[in-house]
Structure formats: C-alpha cells, structure tokens
A and B are shown apart, each in its own frame.
Chain A
Amino acid sequence: MPTNLLLRASAITKSFAGVHALKGVSFELAEGEVHALVGENGAGKSTFTRIVTGALKADSGELEICGQKIAHHSPQQARALGVAAIHQQPLLFPHLTVAENIALSLENGEPGWSVNWKRRYEQARELLHRVGVDLDPKRLAGSLSMAEQQIVEIAKAIGAQAKILLMDEPTALLTDREVDQLFRLIGQFRQEGVGMVYISHRLEEIQKIADRITVLRDGRTIACKDAADVDRGGLIELMVGRSLASIFPKRDVTLGETALEVRNLNNPRLGLHDISFSVKRGEILGMAGLVGSGRTELARTLFGLSSCSSPIYLNGKPVRIGSPAQAIGMGMGYLPEDRRQHGLILEMQLDENISMASLNEVSRWGMVQRGKEARQGEEYVRELRIKANTASVAAQTLSGGNQQKVALARWLAIHPQIMILDEPTQGVDVGSKSEIHELIVQMAERGVAILLISSELPEVLGMCDRIAVFRDRTIAGTLLRDEATQAGIMALAFGHADPLLQEAEQA
C-alpha cells in the first residue's frame, strides 16, 4: 500500500525468564488498513500487542509509531500517540458506571482536576450510539453481560480517536449480530484512515475483513501476504507448519440408550424455562445460540452449580443434582467456558489439576497417593500430546491450547458417561483445536453422551449429530445434522421478527 505507515516494527525480540517469546518480529501497518495477525496460541501475538501498547518493553528491535522512533514508552505515552487496544477479556471497572469506564480511558483530553459528569454522560451516550447499541451510561459495568462489556471496550477505543487500533479476539464474546455491527464499524474506521491490527482465530472473519495477513509462528514472522492471495487451507498450513487433513473429524457412531433426558426444566434463578431434550450414548448434541441465550446457564444447572427443582433423568431414572460433586458421582463432567477462572487451578501442577475431579481414584483412606497421581498425570500428558516436560509443572506455564487439553484430561480421568463441553476450542490455536475435536469424537465412540456448546457455527455443524438452538433461555428448536445450515441455525437463534435475519440468509 502506498499510503503513510502508521506503525513499523522491525526485528523485535522479547524473552521471559530466558524463554524467547519473540525472535525478530517485523510488522507494518498503513493508514486505513486492516492487518490481521494470526498464529497458534503461544506464537507471540499477545506479546507483540503488549509491546505496541507499552505494557511491555522489547529487549531489542525498532519500533516506530506515526513516524516517531520509540525506545521505551508507557501505556500513557502509547495512548497519547493514538494507540488503542481492545482485549479479548474486557478490562473494565465493575464498580464504576459505563460512562466513567469510557471517560477514564480518555482522561488525557480532560482538563483540570475535577470530573465533569454531564460531559461524561453525554460523551458516553454519543459513543455508544455510534457503536449502535442502546446502553444506559449510568449502569454499573459490573452488571453488564460479557458481550455488553466488550461493546463498552469498543466504545472506549472509538472515543480515544485512535489512529492505531489493536483488536485481540474482539469477537470471541460477541453474537453474530454484534459481530456484524463491529465489522461495519471497522469499515467506517478504514474510511477514516485508522490502521487496525486484527487478531483472531476465526479465519473466516479474517478473510472477510483483512487487507493483509501476517502469520506468526514460534515468535517469528513466517509470512506477510495480501488477504486475496491466500486461502484458509494455506493459512492453516502456514500457522501450524503442516497441512491439516480435514478440519472436523466427525465420524458416525451407533447410538446407544438415552443417557440424559430433561423434561420441562425450569430454573427461575437463571431465567431458564421449559427446556426439554435428550441425548443418547455416543451422541454429540450441539448447543447453538447467541451469547446469553441460556446455554451456559443450562450447563451450570445440569452440573449442580445452580440449584433447580426440576428433575433430570439419567438413564431413565429421575435424579436431583445439588452440587458438582454429586454430578461427578453420577458420571457427569463439565468443561467450563472460562478456562483460566473455572477450568483449571493455574498455579497448581498438571497432575494435580488432572486428578482434581477424581481424587477418590488416586486416594486410599482419604490420603492422596502422590505416586499414583503423578503416574496418571504423565500418562495423560503423553496421551493427549500436551507440550510439557513433566506433569509436575504449574498449569500456568502452558499455552492456552495445552491448558485446555489439561482441563479436558481432568474430565477424561473421571471416565464420564455424560460430558458437557462449553466452548471447548475458544481461544485455542488451530493445531490444538483439531486435536481437541479428535478427542471429542473418540469420547463419543466410547459411548459418552456429549453436549457441545459452541458459538462457532462451523464447529457445531461439523461436529454434532443434532443441534439444539437456544433463544431467550429456552430451546427454540432442534435440527438434525443433515438438515442444519448456518442460516437455519441463525433463523432459530434470532427468531423470525429479527430484521438482521434476511441479511444473514443472504450471506
């Protein structure tokens, strides 16, 4: 592109405790460009963005922002230069209002010591309007849903009038409608000459909006290509360094008896109502729907994390599940959505994490048998090809995809009959993703009944025997594998009154 360069980085290196995270990364961003940054987890994408935003300092290499050479800069300086970032996890103040959250990130422009509340609310209202959502700026950020929080993050970036916008998985928590809204905004920014760095694991998104794509692998720049010149298969090959045979390894399995059945389940506390479905042994039941449509809430209810009076039928017998311990006792496992908060104890070792839900099996007289536990841990590390020297390292030292495999190993270790997987591949690199898909299929082949919650429609379509679509905290309809299409799922998810539906069907 012939236009002005906003960001130029060359030969950036950075290491943590002797381990190289970046080994000579070069990157360019021009005005009005969307430059995608892709790579497996641990490839160095986040480290690179943190260096640009001033949160980290590079060990060596040159960084130039808007033509200015930067040796060492703070987050404040970066902001002053027009760098803004939208993170994967919204970083908000839960006790402050939406307006304040927006204002605090823009304070550089505000004169004086005091706060002009009127101006703050007006500014927030205007920015939220530009994003296209109707959100009360006086609401406390702590009361917002994750998607709403992400929207506030976007409003913050708009308000900062950034020239360089870094987006790290901005769509991970968004519904498709909000994603469309975001893409419209990106188009608008492009017109205004803003340069955008777009990081995502969703390759179809990248192909839709990116102008250029830079691929990182193991802390190095592998390739930088125009988006038009490369297809998905090629990208994946570049990212993992090998080609993946097929993306979804779903195989047909003969289904067994009904393992889990729910009839008219109500959980007023989480807003769930009139949910009925059943799943057979060996079957993978997909659960699609918008964020907040009740899928995770259902999973929490089934797993005993939220009490509920409706009975659940396991192998035809009605049971009540009051706690996760009971659920595990009945052969149920739950891989939660939030790996870092719920899925693992990051500070603890791999073997300890793996045995955590099945401590009884490695214990005698209530005492943990460390030897047995460690052997079990090593076995899973080997079997699931978890990248770790030994099972006695802390889980936080692993990359996201490997962490997710450890979290999954915990549930494999209880030998479940029913497994609930909540966004099992969210934020996971492409290589680990297909390995996790393979593990899911293997589980189904062993006769495990699986509930697969996913917001990635290709994954749901590719992995599941049937797909239950959620809307407004109940099941709006169930589709068979053969009859399901992206448009069909979205029609159910949005309901027919939605104006965006037509748009989606056209797409």
Chain B
Amino acid sequence: MQRHFRPKLRLTGIQWALVAALLLEVILFSIESPAFLTWVNLMEILRFSVELGLLAVALTPILITGGIDLSVGSTVGLVAVTFGMAWQHLHLPLLGALALALLVGCLCGAVNALLIAYLDLPALIITLGTYSLYRGIAEGITRASVSVTGYPSGFLLLGQGYFWSIPIQVFVFLFLLVFYAVLLHRSKIGRALYAIGFNAEGARYAGLPVRRYLALIYLLSGAVSGVAAIVYVSHLGLAKSDLGTGFELQAITAIVIGGTSVFGGRGNLFGSVLGLLFLCVLQNGLHLLAAPSEATGVLTGMLLIAVVATDLLNDKRPALSERWMRWKKPLLVAAGAVVVVLAVVLVGLERSSRSEAGAASGPRRPVIAVMPKAKGDPYFISARAGAEQAAKELGVDLIWDGPTSLDASMQNELVESWITRGVDAIVVAVENKGSISTVLRKARQHHIAVLTWDADAEPDARDYFLNQATPEAIANTLADEGARLLNGKGQFAIVTGALSAENQNQWIAFIKARVAERYPQMKLATVLPSDDDRDKAFSQTQNIMKVYPDVKLVIAISAPAVPGAAEAVQQSGGRVDVIGLSLPTICRPYIHSGVVQTIVLWNTRDLGYLTVYAGWLTSQKKIAPNATTVSAGRLGSLEIKGSEIILGRPMIINKGNIDRLDF
C-alpha cells in the first residue's frame, strides 16, 4: 500500500533533469567566469527574472487548463503607458495612477475572460487578437512616441532598490508565487483547474464552475501582467508602449521547459520557476562569457525540443511504455547532456575566437565592452568594423554585444553583466536615457570608464559622450537639404523606423521645428512607420506617392527605410526625391541612379573606431580633466566640448563622394 497523503507538488522526471542541468549550468559558468557565483550577480539574475517570472506564474494555470494567453506582453505595454500617462498627463497622484493602471490590467484580463470562458472561443485566436489590440491601443494613446520618465525615487525603489541586499521586486514575485502555488496546488480552485485541463466537459458534469474558474485565471493573468508592468516601469524608470514585447513567448518557453503540457492537465508551478531560472541563468552566464546574444535563442530553441521530446518518451502510453521504460534514465541524462554539450561547445568557440583576436599575450589585456542599440542594424554593423580595427591597434579585448532588436531592458541587463564581469570600459549607444542611467552610474561606482555614443545618457551617468552629431544637427541638415531640393516650398513625407523608436521621434520633432522656423512654405504630409523593415518602407512609400500626389520629397530616417523608399520611387518612375539617414553601402545603387539625392551620415566606421579608442583612453586615465582636445589614433586630434568628444559634423553623401566611402 502506498501512503495516503501524496502532495501534488512533486518533481517529475524531466524536472529532476532540469535541476541537474541547472546545477551543471551554474558549475560551468562559475568555472568559466569567477564573477558568476557571487551574491550580487545572483541577485541581478533574480531582478531581471521578476517581470518574466510574474508572467510565467500567471500563465502556468492557464496552460494547465489547456488554454493559452498570448496577450500578456501587450498588456504589460498597455498598463505601463496607462500608468505613465495617468501620472504625467492626467496629473493623478502616483497611487491613483497605480490603481488606474492595475484596473486597466484587470480589464485586459476581463476581456479575454469574457470571450474565452463565457463565449467558448478558442484562446489561441482570441488572445492573438487582444495581443494586437492591446499593443495597438498602447501605441494609439501615446501616439507611440511618448515615453514617460522622471518618476520619484520612492517609486523607483520598487524596481531598483534593495532590502537586506535582495532586490525589492523579488518580494513582490515571491508573494505572488506563494499566492499562485496555494491557488493551484492546495485550493479547490486549483484542483478544478487540473480537472478542466484534462476534460472540461467532465469537470462541468461534476458540478465544478468551469466558466467561473477559467474566467478567474484569465482575469488574474491580466492583473498580474499589470503588476509586472508596474515593476517593469519602476525597474527601467520608463513607461513606453513597446514594453514587454515578446514576453509572452519567453514566458511560455519557460513554462514548457518546466514540464507543463500545452494540452493541459500536466505540470506545476515549480517546473515553471525552474524553467525560468534555467533560462535566466543561461542568458546571464552567456553574457558574462561574452558569448553573442543570438546564442541564447539558438540554445533555447534546441533545449525546448530536447526537453519536450524527452518528456514524451517518458509518457506512459501503453504501446510505448515497455520499450521506453528501459530507456528512461539514459534519456533523462541525455536531456541534461544536450544542454551541457551545447554550452561547452559555445564556450569553446568563444575562447578560441578570443585567443585568436588577441594573439599577443602578456599581462592582462584591457577589456572594452561596446554596445550598439541593435546588433542587426546595418548602421551599427558598419561601426563594428571600426571598433575591431581600433581594438587590434591598441591590443585590447573587444566585447561587442547588444540587443538583437531595440530593447531598453536588455541593455540594462548587459551592462549589469559587464559590471559583474569587471570590464575596463563600457561604451553604450543608449536606447533610452531614463532607463539606463541608473545602471551606468553603478558602473562608474565600480570604477569602470563609462562612455556613451550615438545617443547620450544623463550627463552624470557617464564620463564622456562621443558626439557624432547631435539629433538637432542631423535634423537640421536633413531639413536644409530637403528645402534645397524643394526650393523651400511644397509637401514632404517622413518614413520612420518603429513608431516607438526614441531617437527617430527626436529627429522628427527637430525636423518639424526647423521647417516651421525657416521654411514656412514646406508642409509635412504624413509620418509612416516602416518597422525597420525594407519591404514595409517600400509599400509605405508606394502609398505615400498615391495618397499624397503633391509630396515631392520623402525623408527616410531609418537605415533600411532609405533603400526601401528609393526602390519604390524607382519602380514607379515617379519624380519624388528621397533623402535620409542611411549607410552608403546599401544606398549606393540608388544614389548612382539619382533616385536618392543625398544621405546624411557621419563616418560610422570612424565612430566605431572612436568608441574603443576613447574607451581605452578613459579607462587608462589618459585624458586630462580639462583637456580641450584629444588625440585619437588615426582620427587625429578631436575637440572636447565639456564632457563631449566631438567627432565632426554630419557628412552629406551624394554622387560626388559616395564612391570614396567604404562603409
């Protein structure tokens, strides 16, 4: 006879494998990087897991009922901007704004609950709809461009402060975790949720209030997403409509890795937490090892398949079980082995590439860490070439890593891991001023040289800003160039990157100001987003030409948008001029064919060179406090204005000079 009492919350085979893999991961990373296994770093991992963790906790019961909620990431965005706007634009007191924002979170959950639980509609499609709807409303009410910063320090404590050297939001997470654990694994409701997951009709016949409980968990998921949004805003010090993008899939990944079945009925909260920790440790460890960010995605994908496949083989299906029983243990080991092997391969790759880069070994070489806004952007890719050149010249190690797409939180996370790693200089292209300054100040406290490039942080958060050209200068140059082409009068349109991209919105504002001031006869017809996608810029420009026939000039202010717009003009054979901000390489054919008149840019390769050179100089304290010039290798002597190192004026690139530029 078995014991009568058997707690629900016990480890399944796959979860044991996950525990083992997690331990291996920790051991591996602490061997490779001494900074990994420190209290401070572990706490940072926790801090960065909280927002995702809250969503994973809220989604677990939903997956257990066989449902899904894809709208949680969008809810985070909507609640965040509601909170920010209510506080800053409606001038509500902070607590009032908080209440309103949480109410909006509940409302988001309630819409899902109503449609899924009471109208019996498929959760996947409904939440796909609200995924788009909530993000759309967030973008609509902020016109995608507002980002609210400047919160009182008391509020920021929630996301940035410590209590007994534990990040404060961890307590929020623990509280909700316990709440959900009791709900799911101890209460009547949790029991009913499992029954619903196995067989919803059967649960209804047993008299369980199926609809009410389903509604409850979708409602709670909205509310918890709201809490996650508030924590996130406080953590970043910023509320913006694109917060939480992609969180839903990351949370689902963590849950599924933790052994919860998407078909419902099977799984538990412990697995979700385990899956979450596993992913967050993996990400942090890879950052510390300076492995490229893309590795995380590749590893996560493979792991997901390995884990679920292993779990399936353990499935006690009558036809299979006999054969697989014998293989059970080796397979569990295999799941762990997959992770370890992958990690080892990665580390090996990374080491070999590093030792190749720095052939001349000697005393410890300085490490300069440079971060672009987005790694895939052609603009930053061309800067990287310059950075590598400088690193070679100076004999320093270069870490070049950044988010794969615009992501303020990811930037913070990377800087944190660089601080832990103990680099000599950090050079950041700032995505969002408000959110990154705190962590940069922390880096300075750790005596790391901090510089910013491309866009600046708060002046006190960095040593120098590498000023390639101010937003105002770029905007003015573009406006002046446009006015020259239009002879000062007529309509023009702007194709921007993402509607929520901060520096592009800045440029638009300065262009508007310049036009209003100097060229009153010029009129801005429309601003359309291209989502940094060449194809979308292409069709947007086609639309502009048809809807606004008076537009004679398109200003495209995102690197992929210029060739997109140019191709549209070229294919239509229309007489519209294209100017913009882009790279010579991808615009060369259009400049030659005369579709693109001018692109405005500085020498990105020189800028990349300067990031490493100036980072090295600053870390070696080779710039005197009151110097007005600095000698930067092959760039010669550059001017220092206050705490800004000036690269030069923006270049105007046209037919005349494009073939002399190789970036």
Contact = CB atoms under 8 A, between A and B. Distances in A.
Interface stretch (A181-189, A197-205, A370-378): A370-378
Contact of A363 (B4, B5, B188, B209): B188
Given A346-B198, A347-B198, A375-B4, A356 B208 contact: yes
A59 to B, nearest CB: 10
B191 interface: yes
Interface string A358-374: 01100100111011001
B353 interface: no
A367 B321 CA distance: 35
Contacts of B194: 348
Nearest to B264: A347
A363 B186 CA distance: 10
Nearest to B322: A17
Given A305-B204, A343-B202, A371-B4, A366 B187 contact: yes
B31 interface: no
B337 to A, nearest CB: 27
A222 interface: no
B206 A357 contact: yes
A345 B202 contact: yes
Interface stretch (A95-103, A287-295, A322-330, A470-478): A322-330
Given A17-B322, A325-B208, A359 B2 contact: no
Given A323-B209, A357-B207, A367 B2 contact: no
Interface residues of A, number: 38
A352 B191 contact: yes
Nearest to A394: B316
Residue from B1, B4, B322 having most chain A Cβ neighbours under 10 A: B4
B161 to A, nearest CB: 34
Given A348-B194, A363-B188, A368-B186, A341 B201 contact: yes
B633 to A, nearest CB: 69
Interface in A383-416: 389-390, 392, 410
Nearest to A304: B207
Contacts of A324: 204-208
A347 to B, nearest CB: 5
A352 to B, nearest CB: 7
Contact count band on B: 35 or more
A371 B5 CA distance: 5
A390 B206 contact: no
Given A345-B198, A347-B198, A378 B208 contact: no
A124 interface: no
A90 B319 CA distance: 23
Main secondary structure of the interface of B (DSSP, over half): helix
Nearest to B203: A345
A16 interface: yes
Contacts of A17: 316, 318, 321-322, 325
Given A359-B188, A367-B188, A389-B1, A348 B198 contact: yes
Interface in B321-339: 321-322, 325
B530 to A, nearest CB: 42
Given A17-B321, A370-B7, A334 B195 contact: no
A334 B5 CA distance: 29
Interface in B580-632: none
Contacts of B195: 345, 348, 352, 356
Contacts of A347: 198-199, 265
Contact of A345 (B2, B199, B316, B325): B199
Given A348-B194, A366-B187, A18 B322 contact: yes
B182 interface: yes
Q: Which of B195, B206, B319 has the most CB of A within 10 A?
A: B206
A66 B6 CA distance: 53
Contacts of A366: 187-189
Given A17-B321, A17-B322, A345-B198, A334 B205 contact: yes
A453 interface: no
Given A348-B195, A370-B7, A390 B2 contact: yes
Contact of A327 (B2, B4, B7, B207): B207
Interface string A13-24: 000111000000
* Chain A to chain B: the 5 pairs with minimum beta-carbon distance, closest first: A324-B207, A374-B4, A342-B205, A356-B206, A328-B207
Interface of A: 16-18, 56, 305, 323-325, 327-328, 334, 336, 341-348, 352, 356-357, 359-360, 363, 366-368, 370-371, 374-375, 378, 389-390, 392, 410
Given A345-B195, A348-B195, 14 more contacts: A16-B319, A17-B318, A324-B208, A325-B209, A342-B201, A345-B202, A345-B203, A346-B199, A348-B194, A356-B195, A366-B187, A366-B188, A368-B190, A390-B2
18 contacts: A17-B318, A305-B205, A323-B207, A324-B204, A327-B207, A328-B207, A345-B198, A345-B202, A347-B198, A356-B206, A359-B188, A366-B189, A367-B187, A367-B188, A370-B8, A392-B4, A392-B6, A410-B206
